[in-house]
Every structure is written in C-alpha cells, then in structure tokens.
Amino acid sequence: MLVLGIESSCDETGAAIVKDGRYLLANVVASQTEIHERYGGVVPEVASRQQLAAILPVIETALQQAHCRWEDIEAVAATYGPGLAGSLLVGLTVGKTLALARDLPFLGVNHLEAHIYANWLRQAPDTDLQTDASETESAYLPGDPLFPLICLVVSGAHSELVLMRDHTDYLLLGRTRDDAAGEAFDKVARILGLGYPGGPAIQRAARLAEEELRQQRLPVRNPYRLPRAWLRGTYDFSFSGLKTAMLHLAEGLVADQQPGRPLPSGGRQVSRYTTMGSEAARRGQVHIGLLAAGFQEAIVDVLAVKTRMAAQEYHVRQVLLAGGVAANVALRARLEEELTPLGIRLQYPPIEFCTDNAAMVAAAAFFHRLHGEQHDLDLDVEPNLSLPFRQE
C-alpha cells in the first residue's frame, strides 16, 4: 500500500511516499531553521506562512522523486496534532483536499505516533515496489521492531516513556513534569550562546571541547557535575532544575575573566582548564563546551537509566528511541551501554528521520489503515493532542 504522508506541525514542511509503512520511495523536507535561527526559536506566525509557501512544491517533488502517479497512491495522511495550530492547519487542509479530489481515504496522524513509527522505516529494496501486490501488507515483517517494547519519546515538546505491547497500543509509564528534553537542550543552548536549534549545537560544542582537551593531553573528565533529578519510584522526568543550574554556572562563567581563577562550579579541576591555551576566546569556548558536555551528560544519564529500568521491569527485548533528541549521539551511546549487557536491543531511526519528516507520518498511517481506519474530512487540528494512551 502506497501512502502519501504530509507533515507540517512546526517549522518543517514534509511530504513522503512510503510503501507498506516501511519502504521509502520519496522523502522531501523543507526546513525553516535558517529563518527562525535569527529569532532564537520558532515564531509561529512566520512558521505557518512558510508552510503555506512550501507545501505544494514539496508534495510535487515527492511524487516526482518516487516516480509515482496519483493512480498509484492508495491513501493520504497528514499530521493533525500536536503542534502549532497555524502550521498544522496547512498540511491537514491540503491532505484532506487531495484525498477528496482523488477519492482516496484520508488519515489524520498523531505526530508523536509518527515519531515512534520512524523506527519502522527502511530503504526500499531494488525490486519494483509499485507493482507488486499487497501480499506484503503485513503488520509484522522480519526486521521490524519486536513487541513488547519500551519507547523513549524525546522531542522538542515531549518526553515520555511508553510501553508498547502491540501496534498503536501505548501505555504511559512516565513523562516530564516540566521541560521536555529537546526544550531543555534548546534553552540551555540559548543560555550558553550556542544558537538554535540547541540539540545539535550542544552536541557539537561538547565534542569540540573534549577534542581540545585530548589534544592538550588534559584529562577528558568533565569538571562540571550537574544535578540529576531522579524522581525515584517513578518513571517521570524533570529537567528544569538542571536548566537553572546551567543558568547559574553560565553567569559565573561570564564573571570569570581572569585566567587561573576557579569557576563556581563545584568542580575540581576547573582552574587547570581556565589557564589552558593562550587566547581568552578559545578558553571561553572550551569552558562553554565543557558546560555543554556536563549538561548533555546529566540529561542523558537520567534518560538512559530510567529507560533501562523500565525495560527490565517490563521484560522487553527491545527499546526504541523516537523524536528529535533521538539524534543525540551521547544518548544513543549511553543507552547502548545500559542495554547491551542485558541483551536488550536498542533501535533508533537514522538522524534525518529523528526530527520532523513526513515519511514517519506515512508509516504510522499505514498501521492504522491496516485495520481499515480512516478519518472524516471534518477532522480538525488538535494542537495539544497526546499519544492515545490506554487506561490501565
């Protein structure tokens, strides 16, 4: 089954064509990051206008890329929440209109389910995918993630630990009580003057600082030990205390212009790092990088340990990562460390499918469509939509 997926929940405009919820025929994303960069975050009014300008060219390009005619498409799917109302409205309206015009079933897709289903995507094998029959229209194929599984959804606005016993079956184990993981990355990057989007910027700054230390043959051990909110006895997260700690540390950093003077970080070897190198600017950069690394380490630590504990408690053999923060190299590595000794498999999407895209929308839609689901064309946007959790 070929599904045309459309994504427009925030500042990415995406269209993709995916066969049987897995095989990529085309995936086109127009990103507005450069436009929002100068504001330090997404401006909703600007985002929806950009969505409007991008949506039709993006869909046309996807059809061309897939060498696909409209007659080949069997369903149209678009994100209807959560996200920015104005942005969502663009993709949803275009999706419903196309479905009506082409007399195709329409599916509204939950953006968070889509992030999860990015884990089912893979490159199409060379065979002619468009003509072979629907024998492969199966809910379970070799290479798919195996249920039951734990999924850690960590994106710009969400941080949730979820147990999935089957397709589209979600049990909420824990969620953030304040900031989402991606939001924390973005805010801390702003505090450190590293720019937007924060996740990739923090990852890069941390890596460069650690490389610098290695080159100087200094211990790579990070002097900044940042607080972790464990919230023991729950699978909930809290990242706002960490953010505040970063704020205080960054203020201390600005105040410290004298080489050799220890920072008020509580760390041990700070003074050694402050005297490193000759030039103040580079010193400052290494400091900021180490702060970024300390922050990243703290957030990754909590996410990885809690995910491992959930995986053990629910006896799963597989853990999935989903959402923009799943792109984080430190998180992937740290989780691998936690899970591999237990024989639990970790899976995450390739980086371009961690952040917003339409291929994941088409994938999620397929598994709903397998049960014959479709939406009426009066479906409206739901900016605050959550995952459809089962009550237990």
From residue 14, give the alpha-carbon distance in Å to each of 26, 52, 88, 159: 10, 12, 12, 23
* Residue 154 known to bind ligand: yes
* Residue 287 known to bind ligand: no
SS3 45: helix
11 binds Mg ion (CB under 5 A): yes
Q: Of residues 91, 198, 267, 294, which one binds ligand ATP by CB under 6 A?
A: 198
Query: Among residues 288, 286, 274, 257, which one has the least CA distance to residue 193?
Result: 288
Task: Output the smallest distance, CB 153 to ligand ATP, in A.
Answer: 8
327 binds ligand ATP (CB under 6 A): yes
- DSSP symbols for 61-80: HHHHHTT--GGG--EEEEEE
Q: Which is nearer to ligand ATP, 44 or 105 (CB)?
A: 44
Joined tokens for residue 291: 């702060």
* Residue 157 known to bind ligand: yes
Joined tokens for residue 103: 């007399």
- Give the contacts of 334 (CB within 8 A, at least 6 positions apart): 300, 301, 303, 304
Q: Of residues 197, 356, 361, 363, which one binds Fe ion by CB under 5 A?
A: 356
From residue 313, give the alpha-carbon distance in Å to each of 116, 145, 170, 310, 353: 21, 19, 16, 5, 29
323 binds ligand ATP (CB under 6 A): yes
Query: Among residues 36, 2, 30, 1, which one has the least CA distance to residue 15?
Result: 30
For strand 2-7 and strand 12-19, is the pairing parallel, antiparallel, or unpaired?
A: antiparallel
328 binds ligand ATP (CB under 6 A): yes
The interface partner of residue 32, options being ligand ATP, Fe ion, Mg ion, none and the CB cut-off 5 to 8 Å by kind, is none
Site string for Mg ion, 315-334 (x = CB under 5 A): --------------------
φ/ψ of 326, rounded to 5, equals: -65, -15
Task: Output the smallest distance, CB 290 to ligand ATP, in A.
Answer: 17
Dist. CA 281–CA 75, nearest whole Å:
55
Q: Which residues, 104 to 133, sit near ligand ATP by CB under 6 A?
A: 111, 115
Query: Among residues 191, 211, 215, 212, which one has the least CA distance to residue 202?
Result: 191
Q: Of residues 182, 223, 267, 289, which one binds ligand ATP by CB under 6 A?
A: 182
Task: Output the smallest distance, CB 325 to ligand ATP, in A.
Answer: 4
Query: Among residues 65, 135, 24, which one has the least CA distance to residue 363?
Result: 24
Task: Output the smallest distance, CB 111 to ligand ATP, in A.
Answer: 5
210 binds Mg ion (CB under 5 A): no
Joined tokens for residue 170: 């979600």
160 binds Fe ion (CB under 5 A): no
Task: Output the smallest distance, CB 72 to ligand ATP, in A.
Answer: 29
Rule CB under 5 A: which residues touch Mg ion?
10-12
Rule CB under 5 A: which residues touch Fe ion?
155, 356
Rule CB under 6 A: which residues touch ligand ATP?
9-10, 82-83, 111, 115, 155-158, 182, 185-186, 197-200, 203, 323-325, 327-328, 355-356
